[in-house]
């Protein structure tokens, strides 16, 4: 997708700016932040690959399609996020234990611009990810926000170091260390839904009720006896047990099943496959 490719290009530029500014401006926290930003490049590449694979149609070897690739990409990106937090934590602790000079003042305006760009990327990508119901895009979006949070922490730390003077040189490293807790929390929060999708966990009650409502609106449907719905990639796969009048012919029951299938696939729920099982309605006596 275009947004994932643009994300990689922007991440590369920002990572180079952070690392070079950190080296010139004597901010090891900024260097560590730049190293963390390079992980965003790999995460965007994973997301792009996952979306491309998941969009492939079903084939003989993969009769249910390739949708799980998108969920696996979401898991990988969440793990990358947690791993980036570990890198930042280790680097911050190392710099706290090592005497150093205060960072240069010009690192602050550069950080301010980076924070604004990263927050903008987060909002744009999260909107797209939510619209597509893509766990990998949402995970990649949070990579941008975690990067913005880390950069903001470094900004505060550098400000304290410059204002405080002697004795406050490692303030930016302490700030980066505090940001790690937020990054870990977000990584775990993003890992859970992606893992649920891989494990074929049930969808939300809202999605299930919408499916039942749509299927029940088809003429000839008496009731929906059972539903099994799971998310695969950007769409849903489901099995429905549909009750019809027990006295109608097999042919008519089959036709009702086709109508249910067609109406569900034409809905706004991005349903990619439906298996309908026709059941005779129970006697009301």
Neighbours of 239 (CB within 10 A): 14
Q: What is the distance in angstroms between the CA of the first residue and the CA of the last residue of the chain?
A: 56
Would you say 92 and 154 are in contact if contact means Cβ atoms under 8 Å apart?
no
Give the tens place of pLDDT for each residue, 8-23. 777 788 888 888 888 8
pLDDT band at 208 (very low <50, low <70, confident <90, very high): very high
Give the tens place of pLDDT for each residue, 156-175. 888 888 888 777 777 877 87
Question: How is the chain split into domains, by residue range?
Answer: 2-198, 205-280
pLDDT of residue 151: 81
Give burial (CB, 10 Å; 0-12/13-18/19+) of 83: middle
In terms of DSSP bridges, do strands 235-244 and 221-232 run parallel, antiparallel, or are they unpaired? antiparallel
pLDDT of residue 219: 93
Give the tens place of pLDDT for each residue, 67-112. 888 788 888 878 887 887 888 788 778 878 876 677 788 888 988 9
pLDDT of residue 5: 67
CATH of 2-198, one of 3.20.10.10, 1.20.1510.10, 1.10.10.10, 3.40.50.300: 1.20.1510.10
Q: Which CATH architecture has domain 205-280?
A: 2-Layer Sandwich (3.30)
Mean pLDDT on 148-152: 82
Question: What is the rounded CA–CA span in Å between residue 15 and residue 32?
Answer: 10
Question: What is the rounded CA–CA span in Å between residue 285 and residue 277?
Answer: 24
pLDDT of residue 255: 94
Q: What is the maximal distance between C-alpha atoms in the chain?
A: 89
pLDDT band at 4 (very low <50, low <70, confident <90, very high): low
pLDDT of residue 102: 73
Record the pTM: 0.64
Q: Do domains 2-198 and 205-280 have the same CATH topology?
A: no
């Amino acid at each position: 997708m275009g947004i994932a490719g643009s994300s990689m290009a922007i991440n590369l530029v920002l990572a180079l700016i952070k690392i070079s500014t950190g080296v010139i401006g004597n901010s090891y926290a900024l260097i560590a932040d730049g190293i963390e930003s390079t992980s965003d490049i790999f995460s965007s590449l994973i997301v792009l690959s996952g979306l491309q694979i998941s969009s492939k149609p079903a084939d003989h070897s993969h009769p249910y399609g390739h949708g799980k690739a998108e969920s696996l990409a979401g898991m990988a990106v969440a793990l990358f996020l947690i791993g980036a937090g570990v890198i930042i934590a280790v680097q911050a602790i190392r710099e706290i234990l090592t005497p150093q000079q205060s960072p240069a003042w010009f690192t602050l305006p550069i950080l301010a611009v980076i924070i604004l760009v990263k927050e903008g990327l987060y909002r744009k990508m999260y909107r797209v990810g939510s619209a597509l119901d893509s766990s990998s895009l949402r995970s990649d979006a949070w990579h941008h926000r975690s990067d913005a949070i880390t950069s903001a922490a470094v900004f505060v730390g550098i400000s304290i170091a410059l204002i405080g003077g002697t004795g406050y040189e490692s303030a930016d490293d302490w700030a980066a260390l505090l940001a790690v807790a937020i990054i870990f929390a977000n990584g775990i929060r993003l890992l859970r839904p992606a893992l649920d999708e891989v494990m074929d966990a049930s969808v939300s009650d809202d999605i299930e009720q919408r499916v039942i409502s749509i299927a029940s609106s088809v003429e000839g449907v008496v009731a929906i006896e059972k539903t099994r719905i799971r998310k695969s990639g950007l769409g849903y796969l489901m099995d429905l047990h549909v009750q019809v009048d027990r006295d109608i012919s097999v042919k008519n029951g089959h036709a009702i099943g086709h109508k249910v299938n067609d109406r569900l696939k034409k809905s706004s729920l991005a349903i990619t496959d439906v298996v309908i099982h026709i059941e005779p309605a129970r006697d009301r006596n």
